[in-house]
Amino acid sequence: MTELPSKQPAESVSDQTLEFVEDELKLALTFIEISSAAYSLGNLQHGGDARSKAEAMHARAVAQLTDSFAAHQYNHAGVQAMLKEVRSALSSLPSPAHPALWMRRAAS
């Protein structure tokens, strides 16, 4: 007779989720850096693609948090700091609604 796998303690599942969220936020920050560099070089397509990936990772991390954690666990200081950093960095990128701001002006 085979034994059923035991359920993991809730804390280890929360730790795994927290690690996943932190990894997603780190990747989002990496894509934000790529997007910013691409925009500054005038590569709009690459900048927009990297921005979209960063926004998707941010949204996935937030969804994972809200699905998996109680309110007190969601307020983990490290995760909150990373969320704030990602949101701030995303807001500093040029807006897709204002393409004229994406490129540097050419030297006259």
Residue 105 lies in a domain: no
Least confident of 17-26, 62-71, 76-85, 89-98: 62-71
Whole-Å CA distances, 28 to 5, 7, 9, 31, 83: 34, 31, 29, 5, 10
Residue 37 lies in a domain: yes
Q: Please state the pTM of the whole predicted model.
A: 0.66
Residue 29 lies in a domain: yes
Residue 80 lies in a domain: yes
Alpha carbon 79 to chain centroid, angstroms: 11
* Cα three-residue angle 59-62-66, rounded to 5 degrees: 135
54 class by beta-carbon count within 10 Å (0-12 exposed, 13-18 middle, 19+ buried):
buried
Residue 104 lies in a domain: no
**Nearest residue to 68 via CA among 25, 17, 21, 23:** 17
**Which residues span the domain enclosing 72?**
12-93
- What is the domain count for the chain? 1
| pLDDT at residue 10 in the model | 47
Alpha-carbon torsion (24, 30, 32, 35), positive or negative: negative
Residue 7 lies in a domain: no
Average pLDDT, the chain: 76
Residue 40 lies in a domain: yes
Residue 107 lies in a domain: no
